[in-house]
Structure 1
């Protein structure tokens, strides 16, 4: 199946940007740079130079770099929520929805293509002690995903596509899986191997009855 690439705000030349596009363009450029290099390594000047946007425009939309980072994370989780809703709306078993979600995580967290990797993995350890607003919005994003997973697990119990373990709540199982995947993704970055992801993938698929 061929996929036609559609343009994004990050593909737009600076001369083509209208005032209404500027905030979205800055967020897209900021996301790519921060996903590649980390929050502290990227300065406002680099963001502005890459985006082709004057300094005054940046501060029109964002009071500080911290506020910019918070907006990027919020924007990321808004899109992430839409992706979860798309998976959830499919006419397939709950087990298959969970499988598809973690399959996507496995595929995007393997070596290469940094800007495709999970922003949560990149920023979690970096900003947790640096910025309370950014920490809070990351935590809210975690909870959003864990809640979605718990809903799918409950649905899997209801349609008998996911095995139900004794004395384990759906929320607890969702947390275990999410925390395991987040940890494996961090270790994969440190080790520069996909082994941690392969291990947690095997664990998760076994527990979901695959």
Structure 2
């Protein structure tokens, strides 16, 4: 994306048009993200998305060939932003153990007390679209792998700085998967049971295994 010098540059008609188109697409993604995270993918129709966004139907199909392609784009955009949050945690000048603790504490805190659009997109869609949409399944899986890779990197760093216990015969990637799968499952069960007990259980397990 080109950056404009606010003092010396004035957007041309073409650049202004490009910005407007980009803003329209971003608005559609933001609106769809909120609706789908709240109600689920199948419960939200294109008309509802357009009505809520205040955007004509033709604009939707200018950017997205189908609702499935729209869902795929929402998930992809979500994980781009999620990676930025991981990078912020990873850049902190603290031990690897503290970075892991901060990551899971944030997960624990945001998944408690119900589910809104800031918390539950991946949890909701994981249970909904795996058998329904192969493109959406693939982008969800890629997002999972991105997070697991980050966790494994922090675990290895924790072994190196001696802040995380190194269990015999357990690879960092395996530990990262165990933790991530446990947390994802606990988040789903917390929604079903409408209690925070599953989250508390995996929180205790994870903090113990990371040496807290």
When the two structures are superposed, what TM-score results if normalisation uses the length of structure 2?
0.90
From 124, 127, 131, the equivalent of 1:125 is 127
> Which consecutive residues of structure 1, in runs of 5 or more, have no partner in the other structure?
1-16
The equivalent of 2:54 in structure 1 is: 52
What displacement does 1:186 show? 0.2
What displacement does 1:113 show? 4.8
The equivalent of 1:95 in structure 2 is: 97
After superposition, the CA RMSD in angstroms is 1.0
Within 5 Å, give how 1:59-98 maps onto structure 2: 59-98=61-100
The equivalent of 1:187 in structure 2 is: 189
The equivalent of 1:38 in structure 2 is: 40
CA contact under 8 A between 2:114 and 2:191: conserved in structure 1?
no
From 146, 150, 153, the equivalent of 1:151 is 153
For this pair of structures, how many residues does the alignment match?
A: 194
Moved over 6 A (4+): none
> Which consecutive residues of structure 2, in runs of 5 or more, have no partner in the other structure?
1-18
Deviations 1:55-75 (Å, cap 9, x if unpaired)? 000000000000000000000
Deviations 1:131-160 (Å, cap 9, x if unpaired)? 000000000000000000000000000000
Structure with bigger gyration radius: 2
When the two structures are superposed, what TM-score results if normalisation uses the length of structure 1?
0.91
Distance 1:153 1:115 in 2: 29
Distance 1:42 1:85 in 2: 32
